[in-house]
Structure 1
Amino acid sequence: MCELLGMNCNVPTDIVFSFSGFSKRASEHADGFGIAFFENRGVRCFVDAQAADQSPVADLIRQYPIRSTHVIAHIRKATVGHVALENCHPFTRELWGRYWVFAHNGDLKGYDPLLHAAFRPVGDTDSERAFCWLLQEMAKSHASVPTPEELTRTLRELVPQVARFGTFNFIMSNGQALWAHCSTKLHHLVRQHPFAQARLQDDDVTVDFAQVTGPQDRVALVATQPLTDNEDWQAFKPGELLAFVDGVSLD
């Protein structure tokens, strides 16, 4: 299976620490990687069909502290779709004049939804088909960008229609909120005052966040597996969908 990483925070924050540990997992997930950063209404999206522990693009991300309030990253282990750039997550589309970014972990068996011309996959993954279908159905349900609370209610009706085909762990954002759904395995964590040290599980790196944050800062992280071994990561329940705004879950 693939690995997911998402960040939502109330002030622009860099993800260098978390991505450094996350990318170490590419030795078992070597079929490409990608990461997207929202900056106001724009998105910087970097993808590469090389493994994240070998890619020069990943080296750039580990050394370049891009600050963002919403970040989605993915390292791929191919199940549906060949290893190619067009099949690398995260995927991006426009809806209601905003960019949407999506990454999926799982395998959807026999999933072939009816899609109209506005949202069509470029690659051949089940993940991109699911993203296109979600956007298509969201567009049917709302005439313009809904509030995070409204869209969360809509997604709780739509997501089970995809999840019945298999494993549908995903992270999605439009730069206003970050949504995460768990079928099998997903974890979340909120860092806030009083900040403490965090130690990566996959690398010998420790950061004292008390030295690099302010008392009002708040960061929510979502990952397939906990990234650190000394923080209180919470497991999602199977079937749970959470929305995060300004580093806080809406539920």
Structure 2
Amino acid sequence: MPSRPLIVASIMCKKLAENLDRLVLNVRFGKGAFMKTRDKAQWLGEAMLRVGEGTGTQISYLLTAMEEPLGRTVGNALELAEAIDVLHGQGPPDVVNLVLDLATKVANVRRTQLQKWLQDGSAWKKFISLVEAQDGSASVLEEIAAIYKAPITHEIRSDRAGKITAMDAEKIGRASFLLGGGRQQVDDKIDLAVGISDLKKIGESVQGDEPLMRVHARTNDALEQVLPLLRTAAVIGDERDL
């Protein structure tokens, strides 16, 4: 059985080691999260809140449902490229809104100012200054999707017209893991290029034979392994179902 105290300790020891004065936590729940229910996620958030109070750190948390993936990508470099889009004032609306929700909890400025910093490039410039302070390369970040590009891509298409009623985050996350995006053994090498992109979102309408997602794979064998899983991840209902 998972030990809740150990989960709290594992998360908070890493956060508090950064010598923070304030911290906001995104506590997820649902199919794509470790905590499957909102109640369990809230317990985790409150437990971490108490630990923070005990150390004098100002902590808050936000509960986020993960029945479908956040944004339109799953995978290391793919998600990083999407995050860079957000810092350039673009990116999927659900990711942008979550970033603003989290930032509002720790910033001393209004949400409208935070939005402006995303749109006018200020947030990106600040991020680049942090990267360069640690001897990182801004040019590499700008080209991350091209640098880490899987050799095989495959579109999974709809078999009917309708509306997306489910996009199973657990199945999609599992597929990314099987493609090589996570470790099965402690000494496994993570493939930064693989994953899933261009995901349709719950509530969006699709036509017959329209792409629902794009798979990025290293080998044909890996692709064939995840296709059955991904073909059942998206559920299409009638337009009136949502």
Task: Return the structure number with greater helix share.
Answer: 2
Task: Return the structure number with greater strand share.
Answer: 1
TM-score (norm 1): 0.24
**Which has the higher Rg, Structure 1 or Structure 2?**
2
Structure of higher RCO (CA pairs closer than 8 Å, 6+ residues apart): 1
